Amino acid sequence: MDAQALVLELKKIAGEDAVRSDEPMAAHTTFQIGGPADVFVEPRTEQAVCATFMLCRQADVPVRVLGLGSDLLVADAGLRCVVVRLAENFATIERQGNVLQVQAGASNADVAQVACAAGLAGYEFASGIPGTIGGAAIMNAGAYGGEFKDVAVALRCLTPTGEVVDVSAEEAAWSYRHSMMDAAGYVVLAATLRLTSDNPAVIQERMDDLARRRAEKQPLDMPSAGSTFKRPEGHFVGKLVQEAGLRGVRVGGAQVSEKHTGFLVNAGDATAADVCALIELVQERVYEHTGVQLEPEVRRWGFEDEER
């Protein structure tokens, strides 16, 4: 199937206005970096999500699923594939007692806010993680002592062979920033979260406190993808980077944050190549200085040496 025919078929599945060509990924990543994706789709229903993936797989066209792009570095040359974005268009949140049924595109902030208004506690930890439920599920997002696995009881997923399956918490095999779904190439469609009853004012106060702590420590006024490196056992990345004398160091428009040295930020017109060069520089200097090998946490799309 040629590119034009693919776009026509995708428009039949997802709707005329839900499919675009040459979509700049800089507009869909919190780093505000990344060249164009050949085809970009934002389906609105589970049926359309599944049909989109199946069409791409049958046509042997590479396809990727995107949430809010808050853990991604996309190459300057862009992506020769179909990007399926599950965010605002696929974001219903339904309450049944202490349980929330949430579509994958709902943002953590919205889920936390709906839970709070309903007097449901347990998702406060994620209120400031700027991604979707799908992104949180795939990598067991966590903050301030809470992790996605603490509240998720089941997921609904699309498998690479086109089956829609229910995945229990046990099957999800969540560990630090990892899950079975990630390893197996599942698309997360929805999650079931079990929360506990509490006073909305008290829940809101906990979220406000976490927001204050984030704003104090993190460079939230600059584009980034959060912590750039995974936390090495027994160390804090920020401290290692600072001790290696790298606070504020720049490569092109990419910079080690002055405020939190575990964050690399886009200090203005950074390219993906700048960020990659800075990642390598930080890895080298930290290794020379401490013997600790830092491993990127941010996922890299469209690079020759991409691992996942």
Ligand X SMILES: Cc1cc2nc3c(=O)[nH]c(=O)nc-3n(C[C@H](O)[C@H](O)[C@H](O)COP(=O)(O)OP(=O)(O)OC[C@H]3O[C@@H](n4cnc5c(N)ncnc54)[C@H](O)[C@@H]3O)c2cc1C
Burial profile 234-253: b = 16 or more Cβ within 10 angstroms, e = fewer: eeebbebbbebebbebebbb
At residue 250, what is the residue type?
A: R
Helices and strands counted in the chain (H then E): 9, 19
Residue 21 annotated to the active site: no
Of the listed pieces 1-9, 17-25, 60-68, 165-173, which binds ligand X according to CB under 6 A?
Answer: 60-68
Task: Tell which phi-psi region holds residue 267, choosing left (phi > 0), alpha (psi between -120 and 50) or beta.
Answer: alpha
Catalytic residue chosen out of the listed positions 70, 179, 227, 257: 227
Q: Minimum distance between the CB of residue 32 and ligand X, rounded to whole angstroms? A: 11
Of the listed pieces 8-16, 162-170, 219-227, 283-291, which binds ligand X according to CB under 6 A?
Answer: 219-227
Kindly state the DSSP code that residue 133 receives in the 8-state scheme: H
Q: Map residue 300 onto helix, strand or coil.
A: strand
- Binds ligand X by CB under 6 A, chosen from 34, 36, 69, 262: 69
- Does the protein bind ligand X through residue 34 (CB under 6 A)? no
Of the listed pieces 39-47, 131-139, 268-276, 281-289, which binds ligand X according to CB under 6 A?
Answer: 131-139
- Give how many residues touch ligand X by CB under 6 A: 32
Q: How far apart are CA 52 and CA 246, in angstroms?
A: 44
Residue 168 annotated to the active site: no
- Binds ligand X by CB under 6 A, chosen from 141, 203, 244, 276: 141
- Does the protein bind ligand X through residue 104 (CB under 6 A)? yes
- Does the protein bind ligand X through residue 167 (CB under 6 A)? no
- Binds ligand X by CB under 6 A, chosen from 32, 89, 103, 132: 132
Which residue, 285 or 299, has its beta carbon nearer to ligand X?
299
**First vs last Cα of the chain: how many Å apart?**
26
Catalytic residue chosen out of the listed positions 177, 194, 206, 214: 177
- Does the protein bind ligand X through residue 302 (CB under 6 A)? no
Residues 12-31, interacting with ligand X (CB under 6 A): 30
- Does the protein bind ligand X through residue 142 (CB under 6 A)? yes
Residue 177 annotated to the active site: yes
Calculate the CA 303 to chain-centre distance: 18
**Sequence-ordered alpha helix ranges (H) in 142-199:** 169-172, 180-184
- Does the protein bind ligand X through residue 226 (CB under 6 A)? yes
CA distances to 78, 185, 193 from 218, rounded to whole Å, are 28, 31, 28
- Does the protein bind ligand X through residue 187 (CB under 6 A)? yes
For Cα atoms 11, 12, 17, give the angle at the middle one, nearest 5 degrees.
35
- Does the protein bind ligand X through residue 136 (CB under 6 A)? yes
Q: How many residues does the chain have?
A: 308
Which among 206, 204, 210, 165 is positioned nearest to 188, based on CA atoms? 165
Q: Can you give the binding site for ligand X, defined by CB under 6 A?
A: 30, 64-72, 86, 104, 129-132, 134-136, 138-139, 141-143, 187-188, 218, 220, 224-226, 299
Name the residues annotated as catalytic: 177, 227, 297
